[in-house]
Structure 1
Amino acid sequence: MEGKSRANTGPGEDEHYVVISSDSHAGAGLRDYKPYLEKKWHEDFDAWADAYENPWDFVDPRLEREDFDFGEEEILTGAASWHSALSWDSPRRILHMDQDGVAAEVIFPNTAPPFMPGSVFAGTGPETRTEYEQRWAGLQAHNRWLVDFCSEAPGRRAGIAQVSLFDIDDAMAEVRKIKEMGLTGGILLPMDSPLSDSPPLYVSDLEPLWQICAELDVPVHKHAPVPPQLPHAERGGPGMVAISAIENHFYNRRGVAHLIFSGVLERHPSLKVILTEGGAGWIPEHLHQLDTIYDHGKNADGFRRFLQPAMEPLSLKPSEYFQRNFFLGASLFLPSEAAQRYEIGVDKIMWGVDYPHSEGTFPYSREAISHTFADVPPDEVRAMLGTTAGEVFNFDMQLLQQVADRIGPTVADVRTRPAKLPEVPGQSMSPVFA
């Protein structure tokens, strides 16, 4: 209980931390996207909306309750949470942020963009040009809705736009557009899945996209994948959710290797890549593995010579590229992961709430922060809770400090361990408290 014993001693104990959630989710109500679509798509949109069903509602375990009602619940499990009005109710979100001590949020999508299958940006690709154009119009509609949503809380939101990789010219034009519109969160790459038709990140076709993102300082995000909608199959069988959970780390590892060994980060040293809600404990071991491959590739003897062409252009080790280019959206950040912070990189970690998902820490984020960071030096806590995210997403930290001075946790608050953690699963389903 070292943190508690020094809660009221030492300089700076009353300083308020600026807390920026690196992982929040929002989206319009299903039919509220219509005004953001060109009129030529309205009839098709109405037909799509009439037929839309979320194939992943069943993942919320509270469905077993006799009194469970999607229309009444606010905090729902990830893939089911598009039902919640908290996805789009800006005033309610601000109240919740203040309650949780969160000064600002980085916003991923949550609801189904027009014409997209399922509840998230995953699954099979479009089969025709018309289907592609519909889906692309739907993603752009979400991005333009998000601009308006962020404007309802000036300085406290960084919205992440969605892009498709099926037409790189369209994707590049959208990157320029979101930069003009003021979405400062960056772009979300399509979520990985066994059925995804999106190109892997190492293909040369994507080179112009990396270049423009680096030039315009637009961060590139990979977020934890979820099971895709499976055409002509009933949810893919009972093991699909468990399979998705175990593959979460796999796809993040895959993305790190793609961007490093293909030379993307050598060619674009300023490119920011963020991995969110994919855990953090796997990183030291994975970087060791990549560094070993790199070292082997520098040895021209025997079978290792086949690695040499990939390693020759690289001026840094994989772990060095990681420290330069990558950041972690560390939602669901565990005390055990905080203990690995030096191996991961203190200045790489950006704490997050995962609002409004039931696996996130709301409404117990204050408890989650002190539970994880009570024994961590304040300068390191300050970086992981806010200042790193402030730099990555260009937040006005002076403005956010004014917000934090009103609602944020103090150094003393964080140093004082919670007297009691919320019960799992009765009060929270966050693994932080498990």
Structure 2
Amino acid sequence: MPLQSHMHLISTDDHLIEHPKLWSDRLPKKFLDAGPRIIEKVMPRSVHAGDGARGDAGTKLAEVWTYEGRIYPYIGLNAVAGKKPEEFGAEPTRYEDMIPGCYDPAARVLDMDIDGVQATLSFPSFPRFAGTVFLEAEDKELALLSVKAWNDYHIDEWCASAPDRLIPLVILPLWSVEECVKEIYRTAAKGAKAISFPENPSPLGLPSFHTNHWDPVFSACEDTGIPLCVHFGTSGKAPITAPEAPMAVMTALFGCNSMYATADLLFSPVFHNHPKLKFMLSEGGIGWIPYMLERMDLTWEKHRFYQNINQTVRPSELFSKHLFGCFIEDDFGIKNRHAVGIGNITWEGDYPHSDSNWPNSRKRVHDSMLHVPDDEVHQMVELNARALLNFPRT
């Protein structure tokens, strides 16, 4: 049996739903009204019509986030763990619409036990996966306090409730490199193991990877040994082809965000200036990686001489040292794992989102690796993640 009992299954990409008082429990009193909080609001109710289409069926009293007077309606962000695909559709709009493992760490660990998952790294929901809600804030003092509040909750409450099972990830105040650096060192001292960062800063109005703007951030990551997780979609630029295209087009193409990030980083100065830096391509899949590396190497061989790109190191060499692909289900990628690099692959569960296989993740991983040698299975499902995240067995 390839996924043997002594092998721990570690997910490098899950998600948590913030509990209603996360910020009100931590922000100064003067910021409580403007800070993130849950209110009830009448919202349109969408249902499945008999022919599979979506129809409007009046309204419902929903729980929504409000922040600086803006409304963020979907508290659940596709929190559909445990539902059948036929039941997917409207996002949960009340906590009672979700299973408790979405927002309660004790219940999450129980759900991990059911799923056969030993440890998990969880991204934010309300702040978006890389905290870019706070980048949009009008009051940057409040925004900075809100970033710190999420990080403190995640480290001190969520992960501290089961430190051998829940892996601390933090977000950054992206509008200030100086504050980013401070937050990296502050949270590293508290036990942070990963940092969520935009896959492409440029669409967010931030300087790109091709500038030296982020050098102090990357140096702080090298100094603390913390990898950056670039979850697809964190750029805020979804890969949609036309306004009329169904969401299925965007969902099928989301891995392209990780492809863009890979090409962007490998042709940038980032890894040449920061030889110890690591990036994780969260939820990007791995099947595309061999082709992209081949294509980038060919581009480098033929076109490097007249462009402002490194002339001596092939993109594929940089990939093997700095980038890690993360997959949920990727049978093609598993078959071509050596072209990706066994040491550059981690597994992810995506709980409680619609791509998750909960409560059957361990079985699905087992079945997908029936013909993979035990040592390679162990490396992909556990050992790579433990080394990358500095999260040893206890």
Q: TM-score, normalised by structure 2?
A: 0.80
2:247 is aligned with what amino acid? V
**Cα distance change, pair 278–64 in 1 and its aligned pair in 2 (3 A):** closer
Q: How many aligned residue pairs are there?
A: 354
**Cα distance change, pair 57–342 in 1 and its aligned pair in 2 (3 A):** same
Whose strand fraction is larger, Structure 1's or Structure 2's?
2
1:25 is aligned with what amino acid? H
**Equivalent of residue 30 in structure 1, options 13, 20, 30:** 20
**Counterpart mapping for 1:36-55 below 5 A:** 36-45=26-35, 48=67, 52-54=71-73
Over aligned residues, Cα RMSD in angstroms?
3.2
SS in 2 for 1:321: helix
**Cα distance change, pair 246–13 in 1 and its aligned pair in 2 (3 A):** closer
Asked if structure 2 preserves the Cα contact closer than 8 Å seen for 1:172 and 1:209, the reply is yes
Q: Would you say 1:268 and 2:274 are equivalent positions?
A: yes
Q: Would you say 1:306 and 2:302 are equivalent positions?
A: no
1:367 is aligned with what amino acid? K
**Equivalent of residue 188 in structure 1, options 192, 196, 202:** 196
Give 1:64 shift: 6.3
Give 1:126 shift: 2.9
Deviations 1:356-403 (A, max 9, x none): 223211101122112211111100000011011011111122x2xxxx
CA distance in 1, matches of 2:183, 2:207: 18
Give 1:14 shift: 6.3
Match of 1:79 in 2: none
Asked if structure 2 preserves the Cα contact closer than 8 Å seen for 1:18 and 1:385, the reply is yes
Q: Would you say 1:327 and 2:335 are equivalent positions?
A: no
Asked if structure 1 preserves the Cα contact closer than 8 Å seen for 2:170 and 2:195, the reply is yes
Unaligned segments of structure 1, at least 5 residues: 1-6, 75-83, 231-235, 299-304, 400-434
Give 1:335 shift: 1.7
SS in 2 for 1:37: coil
1:342 is aligned with what amino acid? H
Match of 1:428 in 2: none
Match of 1:20 in 2: 10
CA distance in 2, matches of 1:69, 1:205: 39
**Cα distance change, pair 211–16 in 1 and its aligned pair in 2 (3 A):** same
CA distance in 2, matches of 1:240, 1:104: 35
2:284 is aligned with what amino acid? G
Structure number with higher relative contact order (C-alpha < 8 Å, ≥ 6 residues apart) = 1
CA distance in 2, matches of 1:90, 1:58: 17
Deviations 1:3-49 (A, max 9, x none): xxxx5xxxx99652111111111242133321222333212125638
SS in 2 for 1:139: helix
Unaligned segments of structure 2, at least 5 residues: 38-65, 81-85
Whose helix fraction is larger, Structure 1's or Structure 2's?
1
SS in 1 for 2:213: helix
Asked if structure 2 preserves the Cα contact closer than 8 Å seen for 1:219 and 1:272, the reply is yes
Give 1:215 shift: 1.5
2:315 is aligned with what amino acid? P
Asked if structure 2 preserves the Cα contact closer than 8 Å seen for 1:189 and 1:221, the reply is yes
Match of 2:385 in 1: 389
**Cα distance change, pair 196–247 in 1 and its aligned pair in 2 (3 A):** farther
Match of 1:340 in 2: 336
Give 1:287 shift: 0.9
CA distance in 2, matches of 1:62, 1:50: 32
Asked if structure 2 preserves the Cα contact closer than 8 Å seen for 1:150 and 1:159, the reply is yes
Q: Would you say 1:251 and 2:257 are equivalent positions?
A: yes
